Structure 1
């Protein structure tokens, strides 16, 4: 199982991001991921690519509706060139016009790949979709360029049944969140497999990746306090209903939402230890390592998702990141140790 980590950038000085990526690289982790928040994930990977040697670099997620397919395709090529072929393009829909995210994302992936095909070969068929289109340029406004790879793996953030089927049919990987091993085996994997089978593909062609909240501290109480804030924020979103119902904790989620209307973030303090453990890797380093082992054989790729939401501070997020890298270092190198 590959092991990755997300870089908490919400309140962090962007000049810290390359250092975060370098720590993960030196610790022997497989991938490091940036997020589309108030800050651009592409620029974070660009700076990270210059100070890392071998670690995969991914957007987890970049919002499709914020950029044209041609722009996203070119951004991905840039990172792939800067990093020597280490880019992973993770996409999410964002605010999709006319409430047709399935059509929008299907066309978006198609047109990205047509752009890559044209850039790599000089030839690609025309494409005329409802939201996105592609035509070979009449004039070479921009010169074609060499690509490190003819194509870059596209990961799709998917929750609903139809989007999960499309992962199997068209994407190179799935990015999931708020999942448990049983939920993936019973609710996610069958739909991805169904989509793959419909397209004549093998599941070996789909990297099953889950981002799991990871909060590690030598002080177990500190870890649980940070975890409650991170998980509480995410459980306010309606997409958490399905996994919460699956594990029998939906009533607690509904109660949390009611409390949050009047108490705000203070409501997170009432989240039970059971709910925290269900949706996160949390506790001391030894406890966290034991929890990660539970994911072996469930997914291909586990990404440690570091807390970043308000009311957590930049210092708390960085401390959580440093602790996670130190806990899961495969090389003996740790941000907690001098070089």
Structure 2
């Protein structure tokens, strides 16, 4: 199993770069950042410095979207980084939550996301793409250019599209039941489209917090540091409920039940441990969606995720123990999972 580190691009950028260097030293193979232009600093500028200060780490956004950037500009950015540093980027992409809503726009449609994925992938690989009637190709891309496109998804139509079209599937939660359900949906869609399901990389991303023991106090603190994640996921779940209905049978109630007491969301606290809009998230959801507890519990859950077909676990490291989590994964968890 591969491991990734996910960070927000809060200033100073030097700290983001330092944590990514630390992650590479500890055996992480991927470095991901949020992409929301109003809330955080420009990720691709920082990606260039992460790549320059590491030797093997692959980087990408978790996730960009097709609405805040022109598609050819996105593709050119990835292709330039790959030309400079040797095919070390991944385009993580989704409909856009915080990036679009903070700018006063709704998330992109799946149709627009599908079209953007095709254009960005083709251009990033040096192939021709059609921009609404105008065909273009980057003349400067050298032979051997690569750009995998991994799609974030929760709902049935998005899961189907990920299986049919994406090089990878990003699932932002680590619940075992939901992971099995959604990975199966993506793989079935890939098979129905005539693809080998093994060609679709599966990346599960969730907060991880390593405690010294499983005492009530230690677990309570870990939950408070990670409770924000249930609120972030809840934004996507609320969209699904609005689209499909609360008891439609199209989405598992294991995903939707917990947002019944959700009352709103302020993106000014998005992805932060002190988010006041996530009090509705119960401990059970924190435990299911995140990975918390002593190292042995992390090893146990990650081993179970790997058995469900997960190829990468990406650690959301937004809490008060960033360095400690990276070091614990490097010294105890990654070696044990990959033994």
TM-score, with length taken from structure 2: 0.77
Q: Report the Cα distance in structure 1 between the residues aligned to 2:146 and 2:189, rounded to whole angstroms.
A: 21
Question: What displacement does 1:12 show?
Answer: 4.0
Q: 2:88 aligns with which of 82, 86, 89?
A: 86
1:280-299 equivalences under 5 Å are 280-298=290-308, 299=310
Distance 1:234 1:201, change over 3 A: closer
1:74-153 equivalences under 5 Å are 74-94=76-96, 95=100, 101-116=109-124, 119=126, 124=128, 127=130, 132-136=132-136, 144-147=139-142, 149-153=144-148
> CA RMSD for the aligned pairs?
3.3
Distance 1:12 1:190, change over 3 A: same
The answer as to whether partners of 2:188 and 2:197 remain within 8 angstroms in 1 is no
Q: What are the Cα deviations for residues 134-175 of structure 1, in whole angstroms up to 9, with x where unaligned?
A: 4147xxxxx822437333111011222222122122210011
What is the total number of aligned residue pairs between the two structures? 304
User: Structure 1 runs of 4+ off > 6 angstroms?
Assistant: 96-100
Q: 1:301 aligns with which of 295, 312, 315?
A: 312
Distance 1:148 1:55, change over 3 A: farther
Instruction: Point out where structure 2 has 5 or more consecutive residues left out of the alignment.
Output: 213-217, 267-273, 335-339
Question: What displacement does 1:258 show?
Answer: 4.1
Distance 1:303 1:260, change over 3 A: closer
1:1-339 equivalences under 5 Å are 1-9=1-9, 11-37=10-36, 38=39, 39-94=41-96, 95=100, 101-116=109-124, 119=126, 124=128, 127=130, 132-136=132-136, 144-147=139-142, 149-186=144-181, 188-218=182-212, 219-235=218-234, 237=236, 238-239=238-239, 246=252, 248=254, 250-255=256-261, 257-258=262-263, 265-266=275-276, 268-269=278-279, 271-298=281-308, 299-307=310-318, 317=319, 319-329=320-330
Q: Report the Cα distance in structure 2 between the residues aligned to 1:65 and 1:163, rounded to whole angstroms.
A: 17
Q: What are the Cα deviations for residues 198-218 of structure 1, in whole angstroms up to 9, with x where unaligned?
A: 432101210011112212344
Q: Secondary structure at the match of 1:184?
A: helix
Q: Report the Cα distance in structure 1 between the residues aligned to 2:108 and 2:209, rounded to whole angstroms.
A: 35
Q: Report the Cα distance in structure 2 between the residues aligned to 1:83 and 1:93, rounded to whole angstroms.
A: 28
The answer as to whether partners of 1:4 and 1:302 remain within 8 angstroms in 2 is yes
Q: What are the Cα deviations for residues 3-28 of structure 1, in whole angstroms up to 9, with x where unaligned?
A: 1120233x442221111110111111
Question: What displacement does 1:179 show?
Answer: 4.7
Question: What displacement does 1:220 show?
Answer: 3.4
Q: Report the Cα distance in structure 2 between the residues aligned to 1:25 and 1:246, rounded to whole angstroms.
A: 36
Larger Rg: 1
The answer as to whether partners of 2:223 and 2:286 remain within 8 angstroms in 1 is yes
TM-score, with length taken from structure 1: 0.77
Question: What displacement does 1:331 show?
Answer: 9.2
Residue aligning to 1:313: none
Instruction: Point out where structure 1 has 5 or more consecutive residues left out of the alignment.
Output: 138-142, 308-316, 334-339
Question: What displacement does 1:59 show?
Answer: 1.4
